[in-house]
Amino acid sequence: MTDPKKSTILVADDDEISGAYLGIFLKKMGFIPIHADSGLDVLRLLNLERPAAVLLDIGMEPINGIVVLKHIKREVDLSSKGEYM
């Protein structure tokens, strides 16, 4: 099992303030947050960073979090990581 103190979490939020607060919280919990401000950024970063978890804003434009999640489930190879739901 991966040590949560070293796990990277991808935070996707087009609201800069909300994303920043969530990043601060995750850092205090011992995680390494990385930020994406659009669905397109999420898809790009997933292949580069391979985070342990992804937190998606469902209201992002032009590609919202629900569309990104469907793409992740369909297209992204997650076999080397834990579970995604």
Q: Provide the CATH number for the domain around residue 49.
A: 3.40.50.2300
Question: Is the residue at 80 inside a domain?
Answer: no
Please report, in tens digits, the pLDDT of each residue of the chain (85 residues total).
455 557 999 999 999 999 999 999 999 999 999 999 999 999 899 888 888 889 999 998 889 999 999 988 887 665 555 444 4
Which DSSP string corresponds to 3-32?
A: -GGG-EEEEE-S-HHHHHHHHHHHHHTT-E
Domain ranges, residue 68: 4-75
Question: Is the residue at 36 inside a domain?
Answer: yes
Number of structural domains in the chain: 1
Question: Is the residue at 84 inside a domain?
Answer: no
User: pTM for this structure?
Assistant: 0.81
Gap between the Cα atoms of 81 and 64, Å rounded: 23
Question: Is the residue at 82 inside a domain?
Answer: no
